């Protein structure tokens, strides 16, 4: 591997790590805000504050971090195409699609709460949904670290 390609790969890897850490922090906190909205959002002032916090977290941190994480990850794959011959990468990408779906669904929920749409899940369901990104993260990181196949 040439020096420039190696440096490019390591820069992308660094960017990928930073973006994924930001994405995970954002999505975990975002679902927690949604739980609070479902359970304590009856007060108009509380609802307004939590909706604002959720909207800003999603728009300015969580969603952009997800996009950068995907872009840096794809950049790593393009700079080292041999990665695609490894089964763990395919499993990781599949789980990342599920994690992205969880993130996009959270964005839909943010809009529904802002619009006071009655189609919002209960606090109990949101608590369950809050665990999905955590479980996906554990398996994804496990795949990347242990490369089991």
For the stretch 64-123, pLDDT in tens is 999 999 999 999 999 999 999 999 999 999 999 999 999 999 999 999 999 999 999 999
Q: What is the average pLDDT score of the chain?
A: 96
29, pLDDT greater than 60: yes
Residue burial 10-47, b: 16+ Cβ < 10 Å; e: rest = eebbebbeebbebbbebbebbbebbbbbbeebeeeeeb
pLDDT band at 21, cuts 50/70/90?
Answer: very high
> What's the CA gap between 55 and 95, in Å, rounded?
25
Tell whether the model's pLDDT for residue 7 goes beyond 90: no
Q: What is the pLDDT of residue 3?
A: 74
Answer whether residue 4 shows pLDDT above 80. Answer: no
Distance between CA atoms of 86 and 108, rounded to whole angstroms? Answer: 34
* Domain region containing 59: 3-146
Give me the mean pLDDT over the 34-60 stretch: 97
- pLDDT at residue 141 tops 90: yes
Cα 30 from Cα 106, distance rounded (Å): 7
Cβ contact 62:26 at 8 Å: yes
Evaluate if residue 2 carries a pLDDT over 90: no
Instruction: Compute the distance between CA of residue 142 and CA of residue 138 in angstroms, rounded to an integer.
Output: 6
Structure tokens at 140: 């994804």
pLDDT score of 1 more than 70: no
The total of structural domains in the chain comes to 1
């Amino acid at each position: 591997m040439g020096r420039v390609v190696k440096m490019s790969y390591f820069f992308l890897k660094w960017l990928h790590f930073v973006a994924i850490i930001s994405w995970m922090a954002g999505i975990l906190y975002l679902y927690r805000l949604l739980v609070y909205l479902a359970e304590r959002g009856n007060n108009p002032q509380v609802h307004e504050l939590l909706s604002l916090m959720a909207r800003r977290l999603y728009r300015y941190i969580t969603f952009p971090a997800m996009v950068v994480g995907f872009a840096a990850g794809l950049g790593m794959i393009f700079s080292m195409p041999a990665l695609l011959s490894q089964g763990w990468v395919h499993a990781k990408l599949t789980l990342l699609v599920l994690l992205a779906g969880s993130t996009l669904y959270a964005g839909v929920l943010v809009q529904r709460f802002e619009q006071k749409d009655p189609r919002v899940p209960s606090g109990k369901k949101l608590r369950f949904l809050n665990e999905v990104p955590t479980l996906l993260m554990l398996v994804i990181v496990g795949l990347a670290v242990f490369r089991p196949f």
